Structure 1
Amino acid sequence: MKTQRRAFLKQTTALLAATGLTGWTEAVARSLNPNAAAADKPYVVFVTGDHEYSGELTLPLIAAELEKNYSMRTKVLTAYPDYNGEKDIPGLEALREADLAVFYLRWRQLPQDQLNFIEDYLKSGKPVMGFRTTTHAFNYPEGDERRRWNAFGEFAFGSPPGWGGAAKHTHYGHQSTTDVTVIPEAASHPILTGVEPSFHASSWLYRVLPDYPAKGAVPLLMGKAVNPDKPAIDNPVAWTWQNQWGGKTFLTTLGHPEDFRLEPFQRMVINAIHWELGKPVPKRWKGKIDINVPYGHPKKF
């Protein structure tokens, strides 16, 4: 039966194409295969679990926007049993079908079988995107054979390999905020289309300099600490890079839930997702996304 349907479809579409009725060709294809339209939409998988910044609450709102206004399919994975669950993110097999993987993680200790899905995805050369604490996504103890994953931020995104220590990856205090400006040399980058040249973010500034982002990275935004708790230097807060498997990457060290309320931040994120997928960034902004998520998880979701 399936063979007959395929033969009929092939004959019908060839006939319609020959008569110039290409629109009807697509219509016939959709009618005979209702899943075709969905299959044509890019599939974005969000992987969340960050203890602190409510990524499992903000990113579903980004996902909903992608589905509503930008013709994409999405899936949001969350830590189990809640955001404090460090050793289980069910559903990572979805990465097998993903066109883009977006990570917002902090200090996870996932089992090897779950890490395998992430490793296979990275080695496929597909694009990856990360937010803030994804620079230190994993936290395996000394002697654990999975400890190399503590450097996930470095090999996936060109960020420092974990938190503190020799990488000097720290921040400038929880009472500080960040003034963000577009780096002039990057102003024409597609990810910055329509992004205001300066805005104020609630995230306290992460230090990644002097050794990161990695060689070959293209910094897009610069951050200046406001009310820092120690002498501060300006640091990149968003950049692109290509990892060793050829995957396009975008990472921002911003990501406080109040950052997600900002229209320039929202627009950068939507643009970056399109850029990572190899799609033109939206010519027309669909408007500010209603995101109002608390910081610090006052209650379980």
Structure 2
Amino acid sequence: MLRFFFALVLYTHALAHPVPESTQWLTYPDGDGPGKGRHIMLIAADQEYRSEQSMPMMAKILSTHHGFDCTVLFGVNEKGEVDPTMPVYPEKGKESEFKQHHIPGLEHLASADLVIYFTRLLTLPMNERELIVKYIDSGKPFIALRTANHGFHAPLPYKINGKQVNWGTEVLGGAFMGHHGRWHADSTRGMIVEEQKQHPILSGVSDIWGNSDVYRTYKEGTSLPADCTALVWGQPLMGRKHDDPPNTKLEPLPVAWIKTWQTSSGQSARVFHSTMGSGHDLQSAGLRRLIINAVYWGMSMEAAINPTRSVDIVGSYEPLESGFNYAKLGVKPKPVSAYK
């Protein structure tokens, strides 16, 4: 009986979620699927594109349909509330009143097998920036969505061979250089790169559309860096509806690509970046599948990608509109539990 008890304890411990439950973050235990035994962390800390709604939604899909343990961390205010309304720049003349951002739970990045970043212009305390850098430099894979390519206002304390590392242009392969078209007026049709259509990340992916506009991440007349491989091009449309015609005056630009990041110790981390990813963009099953396939690819689990495995939303998902007019949009500080 005693042997059975200890075996049960060991079995239960083996199945335990790697991050303890807390009122400061959300945990989603694994369901059935090839991801069992792997832990994904999703960081929701932007002010414009409703990552506080979309990252829990993605975590539910990854845990319920794919078997991953998932944890969602949030940017919070001094009261511990999820607060997308926190400013990213101090008001002129009130610089001393500016509040740093805060993401509780970053210490648990150490247990992650993959991290999905959805951040925007954060000014974090140094110890939190150091935890982020420790993961980025670990050789483990990561994904960056939409505003994550300008995810940090204060530089990350990351140097290799004495040179400051740029998170957007160097680590991700591109940083926000402007809206390629009309901000909050265009939408994007994703077009799979013909030469890459057999890539495992594109398995089962079709009909990528989102009502956010295309980002420019490199100067006109140039291209993605040589170490990046474009998977999806984004064609700006003339409006914010799925069937709106293309804006033929605007060339398509890459909206999803892969690369590797060489860490300070010479390890190669797999990186996937999508400049699509607003709350409404992620209503597109094609975009959700693209990102979920990238999760598998990032962890070298290509063989487990199933083009028909469900990427259906679990429960309800009604994202608020993107933007900064918080009162009109209904965006306000809420407890973490509101996003469960």
| TM tier relative to shorter chain | 0.7 to 0.9
Tell me: CA distance 1:255–1:32, structure 2 relative to 1, closer, same or farther (3 Å). closer
Determine which of 191, 215, 221 is the counterpart of 1:206: 215
Q: Report the Cα offset of residue 200 of structure 1.
A: 2.9
Question: Which one-letter code corresponds to 2:224 in the other structure?
Answer: P
1:286 aligned partner? 310
Q: Report the Cα offset of residue 83 of structure 1.
A: 1.8
Q: Report the Cα offset of residue 230 of structure 1.
A: 11
State whether structure 2 residue 266 is matched by structure 1 residue 251. no
Instruction: Give the 5 Å matches for 1:49-88.
Output: 49-81=45-77, 82-85=83-86, 87-88=101-102
Question: Which one-letter code corresponds to 2:122 in the other structure?
Answer: R
Larger radius of gyration: 1
1:14 aligned partner? none
Instruction: For 1:48 and 1:57, locate their aligned partners in 2 and report how far apart those are by CA, in whole Å.
Output: 8
Question: Which one-letter code corresponds to 2:231 in the other structure?
Answer: L
1:21 aligned partner? none
Q: Is the 8 A contact 2:40 2:70 kept in 1?
A: yes
SS at match of 2:12: coil
2:113 aligned partner? 99
State whether structure 2 residue 128 is matched by structure 1 residue 126. no
Instruction: For 1:183 and 1:233, locate their aligned partners in 2 and report how far apart those are by CA, in whole Å.
Output: 14
State whether structure 2 residue 273 is matched by structure 1 residue 273. no
Q: Report the Cα offset of residue 292 of structure 1.
A: 2.4
Instruction: For 2:197 and 2:156, locate their aligned partners in 1 and report how far apart those are by CA, in whole Å.
Output: 42
Q: Using the TM superposition, name which of 60-69 and 148-157 deviates more.
A: 148-157
Q: Report the Cα offset of residue 138 of structure 1.
A: 1.3
Instruction: For 1:103 and 1:212, locate their aligned partners in 2 and report how far apart those are by CA, in whole Å.
Output: 24
Q: Report the Cα offset of residue 31 of structure 1.
A: 6.2
Q: Report the Cα offset of residue 294 of structure 1.
A: 1.2
1:15 aligned partner? none
Question: Which one-letter code corresponds to 1:187 in the other structure?
Answer: K
Q: Report the Cα offset of residue 274 of structure 1.
A: 1.3
Instruction: Give the 5 Å matches for 1:129-140.
Output: 129-140=143-154
2:29 aligned partner? none
2:169 aligned partner? 154
SS at match of 1:239: strand
State whether structure 2 residue 40 is matched by structure 1 residue 44. yes
SS at match of 1:35: helix
The one of the two structures with greater contact order (alpha-carbon pairs below 8 A, sep at least 6) is: 2
Q: Using the TM superposition, name which of 42-51 and 210-219 deviates more.
A: 210-219
Tell me: CA distance 1:183–1:58, structure 2 relative to 1, closer, same or farther (3 Å). same
Q: Is the 8 A contact 1:207 1:235 kept in 2?
A: yes
Instruction: For 1:294 and 1:113, locate their aligned partners in 2 and report how far apart those are by CA, in whole Å.
Output: 32
Instruction: For 2:132 and 2:186, locate their aligned partners in 1 and report how far apart those are by CA, in whole Å.
Output: 34
The size of the alignment, in residue pairs, is: 267
Instruction: For 1:259 and 1:145, locate their aligned partners in 2 and report how far apart those are by CA, in whole Å.
Output: 28
Q: Using the TM superposition, name which of 113-122 and 79-88 deviates more.
A: 79-88
Question: Which one-letter code corresponds to 1:184 in the other structure?
Answer: E
State whether structure 2 residue 231 is matched by structure 1 residue 220. yes
2:331 aligned partner? 299
1:33 aligned partner? 11
SS at match of 1:251: strand
Instruction: For 1:205 and 1:251, locate their aligned partners in 2 and report how far apart those are by CA, in whole Å.
Output: 13
Q: Is the 8 A contact 2:191 2:234 kept in 1?
A: yes
Tell me: CA distance 1:133–1:145, structure 2 relative to 1, closer, same or farther (3 Å). closer
RMSD: 2.7
Question: Which one-letter code corresponds to 2:290 in the other structure?
Answer: M
Q: Which has the higher helix share?
A: 1
SS at match of 2:226: coil
Question: Which one-letter code corresponds to 1:182 in the other structure?
Answer: I
Q: Is the 8 A contact 1:139 1:150 kept in 2?
A: no
Tell me: CA distance 1:243–1:146, structure 2 relative to 1, closer, same or farther (3 Å). closer
Q: TM-score, normalised by structure 2?
A: 0.71
Instruction: For 1:265 and 1:287, locate their aligned partners in 2 and report how far apart those are by CA, in whole Å.
Output: 10
Instruction: For 1:173 and 1:103, locate their aligned partners in 2 and report how far apart those are by CA, in whole Å.
Output: 25
Tell me: CA distance 1:36–1:150, structure 2 relative to 1, closer, same or farther (3 Å). same
- Deviation per residue, 1:177-204 (Å, 9 max, x gap): 11211010010111111111x4432110
User: Where does structure 2 lack aligned partners over 5 or more consecutive residues?
Assistant: 19-35, 78-82, 89-100, 240-246, 323-328, 335-340
Tell me: CA distance 1:214–1:261, structure 2 relative to 1, closer, same or farther (3 Å). same
- Deviation per residue, 1:204-245 (Å, 9 max, x gap): 011124455322211100011123899522100000100122
